[in-house]
Amino acid sequence: MKASEFVKIFGWEESKVLVNAQSLTMRQIALSTTVATVELKRLVGSHELVSDYYGLARAKEYADSKYTAPELKVALKQAIADVESCL
């Protein structure tokens, strides 16, 4: 299963729990699924970055602003694409 499909089925909160799993049980669940945990971790990070800018619409505005640093534009555009792939 692709990480984006996992997010679509279980949602962002469940994905965050799985990525940030501290208990042995949660790690075993993560290892037993066929979800690419590295990709899931990237998607959760992207979702958090977009959330830091108060959602997709405002993140897009900020990414398109001429006052935004080029490095941040690249990161935001990737994060926006990741979040949109999970909608």
Share of the chain above pLDDT 70, in %: 84
Rounded to a whole number, what is the largest CA-CA distance in the chain? 47
The set of long-range contacts for 50-54, using a CB threshold of 8 Å and a minimum separation of 24, is 50/76, 50/79, 50/80, 50/83
- In this model, does residue 12 exceed pLDDT 80? yes
Band of pLDDT at residue 38, cut at 50, 70 and 90: confident
CA distance 28 to 61: 40
Whole-model pTM?
0.78
